[in-house]
Amino acid sequence: METTPGTRRAGHIGRHALTAGVAGVLVVLSGCGGLTGAPASTDSASKSGNTPSPPAATVVSEEQAYERVIAQVLPSIVQINTSGGLGSGVVYDTDGHIVTNAHVVGKYKNFEVILATGGKPRKAQLVASYPLGDLAVIRVSDKTGLAPATFGDSTKLKVGQIVLAMGNPLGLSGSVTNGIVSALGRTVTEPQGEGSPGATITNAIQTSASINPGNSGGALTNLSGEVIGVPTLAAINPELGGGAAPGIGFAIPSSTAKDVTEQIIRNGKVTNTRRAALGVRVNTVVGPDGQPVGVGVAQVDPGSGAARAGIKPGDIIISVNGKPTPTAATLSEVLAGLKPGAQARVELLHPNGKTDTVTVILGTLSGS
C-alpha cells in the first residue's frame, strides 16, 4: 500500500470562505523536472507537427456516454447546508439516507438538503458520523422523489479509467468535472479539525478530475453510472503558496463507503472498522530542535495488544515493522496498512533512555 506524505484535509465551504484559497491535501512534490532523453517520434504526423484528430464517431460516442452518466447520476447528488458552510452528499436509498463526509457535517446535527433537481430545502438530521474514516450518514424527513445512486465495486477499478466528479464546488450546484483514475491504494491522512480527529483514509482513489471545496461528500462515478468513490481531498502545492495543485484529488473508495453506511443504517454506528489498532492513546513528541522524534504513549487500553506486550505510558514508539513513526499521523498510516490479528514489531524508546522491540498482536480500531 502506498502512502502519500504530508497530507491535509480539504474542508467544506464555509459560508464566508468562497474567496479563500483552495484548501486541500498538501502533497510535497520533489524531483518534478521535465522528462529528458525521450526518443524522437518517427510518426509522419508528428514530424509535420500535425496531430491526427480522433474519428468524429469516437468523439460523439464519448460525449453521449458523459451525457448519459450525468443524466443518470446527477439527480442523486445533493447540497448539504450547515450553519457553518456547505458540502455535497449522495442519496443512498429511498428511505432518506444520504452519505457524505464527516467533515461536511462537522459538529452539527441538523441540516438543510437541496436536491440537484431543485425544490425547497429539506430538513435532515444526523444518523451517525464516523470521523476516523471521514464518512457520515444523514437522513431527510421528506423522502419524496429521492433518486438513490448505484454504488459500484471500487475493488475492480483500474488506473486509466475515465471518471466524473459531481458535487457543489464553491457552491456551484450540480457541477461536473472529468478525469481519470490516476492511482489506486493511496493512504492519505487529514489534519485534525472540525469534525475530524485526523482521519487516515486507506485505499484512496487518486484522480485527475477537479475536486474543490464543496465537492466533499459528492460522487466520483465511472462511465457505467456507478458511484465508485466519495471525493474528499484536493491537493495544494506549497511551492505555489498553497495554490491548487491541478489534477491531484482523492476519494474514499465506494466499497468502504458502502460498508460504513450499511453499518450506520443497521446499527446507528460503525461497529467494525476493519482497521488495525495497537490499543494506545498517543501524541507526537518533539525534540529540542522542535522536530518530531516519535509517538508518545499517553494511555494504554487494558487488555489490548499493547498492554499484553508490555507497552506503558511514557514509552515512545519509534517504528513499526521497521517503518519510522515520527508523528502520530505516520503511525496511523503505518497501522492502516496492517490487519487486525496480525503481529507487529514495535520499537520503543523507554523513559530511562533504553530502546526495546516488542511484538504486538493488533486489535481492531474502535469506530468512536
- Annotated catalytic residues are 103, 134, 216
Q: Using CA atoms, how far apart are residues 137 and 133, in angstroms rounded to an integer?
A: 12
Percent helix / strand / coil, the chain, rounded to 5: 20, 40, 40
Q: Using CA atoms, how far apart are residues 59 and 53, in angstroms rounded to an integer?
A: 10
Q: Which residue's entry shows cell 519510522? A: 324
Contact yes or no for 209/246 (Cβ under 8 A):
no
Q: Following CA atoms 42, 48, 51, 52 in sequence, which dihedral angle do they give, to the nearest 10 degrees?
A: -80
SS3 for 117?
A: coil
Contact yes or no for 347/318 (Cβ under 8 A):
yes
Contacts (Cβ under 8 Å, ≥6 apart) of 202: 1, 187, 256, 275, 336, 337
Take residue 290 and report the three cell numbers written for it. Answer: 522542535
Kindly state the DSSP code that residue 27 receives in the 8-state scheme: -
Centroid of chain to Cα 337: 15
Contact yes or no for 361/310 (Cβ under 8 A):
no
Of the candidates 79, 76, 93, 91, the one whose C-alpha atom is nearest the C-alpha of residue 12 is 79
